[in-house]
Structure 1
Amino acid sequence: MRESPCLLPARLARGGVSLSAYARQGGAPPCSDETIRLPERLIEAVMNLIWTPAQLAMLAKVVDLNGFSAAARALAVPKAAVSRAVADLEKTLGVRVLERTTRRIALTSAGRLLYPHARRIGEETDAARAAIAKLREPEARPLRVVADPTYGRVLLSPLVPRFLEAFAHVPLEVALDAEQLTEGAWDVAIRTRPPADGTTRQRLLGAPPALLCATPAYLQRRGQPERPDDLRGHDLLTPDAALLPEFRLLLERGTQRAEVPLRPKLAVDDPAVLHAATAAGLGVGLLPEFLCRQGLATGRLKPVLSEWTVPPAAALYALYPAALESDPRVQQFVDFLAANIVPALALPVPVRPPPIHPSTQDFAPH
C-alpha cells in the first residue's frame, strides 16, 4: 500500500524541493517528529496557503523596482529565491504574470489584474515587519509613568535622574496627575491602592512610616494628649475616607496596644490636602512622616503621642498592565523603584520642590 506523503515545510524549504515533486514521484518523504500527515489531495492547497502571500509580495517588489536583482537586494534574499517565487506563483495560478526580456520586465494582462492585490499584500507585510521592529526597539517610545502628585514630587522626582543615568536606553514620560491614574493612559502607575481588576499587575514598593502631629497653636488651644484615649477629645484628620463615619486608630508602644474609635473631622485621600489642613491648625493629622519632617525640624509642627507608633498612612504600589508584564523596560523601572523607594523615604525633603507644570502650585511641606 502506498504511504501518504508527509509535509515537511522546514526540510522542503531548506532543500528547495517542492512537495508536488514528492507527490509526482509516487513516494513519500521519510517522516519525523516535525511532520504533519496530510492526504495527497490537500498538499497543493496547503502549500498555496503557505507560500502564495510571500510570492505575491515578491512579485510586487519585482514590479516596483523593475527587476529581480533590485527586488532581491531590497528583500535581502538571493536573486534565485525571488525568481523561484514568481515562477512558482505562475505555476500555481496557471498563467504568466510577467513578460521577461533582457532589458525590461512587463506585466501581462493577468499580471495587471493581480498586481494591485500583490502590492497591498507587500505593503501590509512591510507594515507588519515595521510594527514588530518598533516593539523590539526600547527607544521606540517613552515609558509612560504617572504618579500621585504629592508622592511623585517628594519620592519619585529624585529617583528619575538616577534611573535615566542607569538606564539611558529607556526614556521616560512622567506625569504627576491624579486624574491620569484612573484614565489608564500609562505603562506604570504609582499609587496608594492596589488594582481592583485582574487586568493590572501590582508590586508593593513600601509603606511610608506615619505619625501624629499638630501645630503648637492647636495643642495650646486644645491641650497635649498624654495617652491614646485623650485623642477622643481632639479633631482627627485622617487619610482614609473609606473608614467614615467611624475611624479606629491603632497605636502601639512596646508590648502595649491601643485601639481608639474616633470620628474624624476631616478624611481625605490626598496627603497634600491633609498636610495643609494640619499645618493650618485644624486638628491632629495622621500623616506620612516624610511630609512632616521639615515642619518638625522648624517647630511649626509638634509630634503627638511620640512614644506610640501608628500604622503607615498608606502603602505605595507600582501598577502596570498585564499585557506589559514581559516588557523589559517596565520590569527594569519597577525593580528600580522597589530597590530605591524605601531608602528615598530617609532623604531630606526639600522645603519647596521644583514646580512640575506652570499651572501647578508648589507644595511645600512644613
Structure 2
Amino acid sequence: MSKDWDSDFLGALVAFGAVADAGTFSEAARRMGTSKSALSKQVQRLEERLGARLLHRTTRALSLTEPGRLALEHAEQVARSAQAARAAVASLTSEPRGLLRVTTSVAYGKAVLLPLVSEFVRSYPEVEVDLVLMDRMVDFTEERIDVAIRLVDTPPDLSIAKSLRPIHYVLVARAGSDLARRILHPSDLQDVEVLSYSRDMRDTQWTFVRNEEAVVLRMRGRVSVNNSESLATLVADGLGVAVVPDYIAQELIRRRKIISLLPDWRVKGRFGSTVWIVRPPERAVLPAVRAFTDFLVGRLGLDSA
C-alpha cells in the first residue's frame, strides 16, 4: 500500500469522520470506545498529512473548515466501504434470514414467480418474502425493493443484473377455430379481429420475422387490455387473436384453450426480450438476496432448462 494510503492515514480519516459526526471529541471517543486524546492526535496527524486545517476548534464547539468539508465526504465514503466489506464477507457465511422484498410484473408474477416463491420459502424457513406485483418500474430505494425481476431488452443503468432466460412471444387464437388453416402468412391477419396490449387501439404494431423476411403490420381491434393474462383469456373466449409471452401461452396451450399460429415465424412482443434479475448497486448482498438469486438462476436460468 502506498504511503498516501497506509492504514494510519485511513484510520485517521475514519476518526476525523467520527469527530465531525459527533460534534465533539468527547462524544466521538465515547462512541468509538477510545480516548479523547487519542482521537485528537489522529486528527492532528491527518491535518499534517493533508497540509490543511480541517476543524475550527473552540471551547464550546467544533466546525468544519472548507478543506474539512471536502475531507469529510471521503471519510464517509471510506466508512461506507468498510461497512459494505464487512457485510459482504459476513454474507458468505451467514444463514439467509429476514425480510426480502421482491417485485415483478403482475402477469409474470402470477404465471411464473408465485410457485417458485412457495418453493423458496419452504427451503429457507428463516426468510420472509414480500412479493410486490405491479406493472410499472419501481424505485429500489423509495419502495425498499431488494430484488426485481425485469422483462426488458437491457437492465436499468447502474444496476447489478443477471439474465435468466429469453422471452419468446406467441401469436395465439382460440382452440378449435379455423384460423390455423386460414392464417398461413402474417399478411393473412389483415382481416382478422385482433386484441391488443395497449390503451391506444390505433397504435398496435406487430412485427414478424422468418429468416431474412420481415413483415410489419399495423393492427386495429375493438378491445385492448394492459395485462397479458387477460389478453390470453379473451383469446380463449374467441374474441380475437393476440400476441402474448410464452410464459402466458404455454399453460393455456397445454390445456387446449388456445392454439399457436404461424409457428415458423418469430414475433416481436411489446415487452423486452429477456428476463433479468436485478438488484440495486452499492448495496451489500444480504444472504437472503444471494440465496434467492441463486435459487432463481437454478430454476429459470438457461443452464436449468
Q: Quick check: 1:201–1:322 contact (8 Å CA) kept in 2? A: yes
Q: Is the 8 A contact 2:165 2:300 kept in 1?
A: yes
Identity %: 20
Task: Identify if the C-alpha distance between structure 1 residues 343 and 244 changes in structure 2 by more than 3 Å, giving closer, same or farther.
Answer: farther
Please tell me whether the aligned partners of residues 195 and 201 of structure 1 are also in contact (alpha carbons under 8 angstroms): no
Q: 1:258 corresponds to which letter in structure 2?
A: A
In the alignment, which residue of structure 2 is the partner of 1:232? Answer: 190
Structure showing greater relative contact order (alpha-carbon pairs closer than 8 Å, 6 or more residues apart): 2
1:4-19 aligned within 5 A: none
Number of the residue aligned with 1:262: 218
In structure 2, the residue matched to 1:340 is 299
> How many positions carry a matched residue from both structures?
236
> What is the DSSP-based 3-state SS (H/G/I as helix, E as strand, rest coil) of the residue aligned with 1:310?
strand
1:300 and 2:257 matched = yes
**TM-score using structure 2 length:** 0.58
Is contact 1:224-1:304 (8 Å) kept? no
Q: For 2:232, what is the secondary structure of its paired residue?
A: helix
Which secondary structure does the structure 2 equivalent of 1:226 belong to? coil
Say whether the 8 Å CA contact 2:243–2:269 is kept in structure 1: no
Indicate if the aligned counterparts of 1:142 and 1:172 stay in contact, CA closer than 8 A.
yes
Quote the residue 1:208 is aligned against. 167
Report the Cα distance in structure 1 between the residues aligned to 2:187 and 2:111, rounded to whole angstroms. Answer: 33
| Match among 252, 275, 278 for residue 232 of structure 2 | 275
Q: Secondary structure at the match of 1:262?
A: strand
- TM-superposed CA distance for 1:230, in Å, is 0.5
Separation of aligned partners in 2, 1:55 and 1:342: 50
Q: 1:299 to 1:196 in 2, by over 3 A?
A: closer
Residue identity matched to 2:166: A
1:159 matched to 2:121: no
Structural mapping, 1:355-366, within 5 Å: none
Q: Which has the larger radius of gyration?
A: 1
- Taking structure 1 as the reference length, the TM-score comes to 0.50
Supply the AA of the counterpart residue of 1:261.
Answer: L
Structure 1 gaps of 5+ residues are 1-32, 37-45, 59-74, 76-81, 93-131, 347-366
Residues 118-169 of structure 1: CA deviation (Å, up to 9, x unaligned): xxxxxxxxxxxxxx7x966766631111222221122112322443465555
Determine the C-alpha separation between the residues in 2 that align with 1:195 and 1:267. Answer: 26
For 2:207, what is the secondary structure of its paired residue?
A: strand
Check whether the contact 1:325–1:331 (CA below 8 A) recurs between aligned residues. no
Aligned to 1:289: 246
Q: Tell me how far apart the structure 1 counterparts of residues 189 and 200 of structure 2 sit (CA, whole Å).
A: 20
Which amino acid in structure 2 is aligned with residue 308 of structure 1?
Answer: W
Q: 1:285 to 1:55 in 2, by over 3 A?
A: closer
RMSD: 4.5
Aligned to 1:173: 129
The 1:194/1:138 distance shift into structure 2, 3 A limit, reads farther
> Given the superposition, is the C-alpha separation of residues 241 and 191 from structure 1 closer, same or farther in structure 2, using an over 3 Å criterion?
farther
2:80 is aligned to none
Give, in whole Å, the separation in 1 of the partners of 2:165 and 2:225.
21
Deviations 1:278-321 (A, max 9, x none): 12222111122342334333433222223333346643222322
- Consecutive unaligned residues of structure 2, counting only runs of 5 or more, are 1-5, 10-15, 42-82
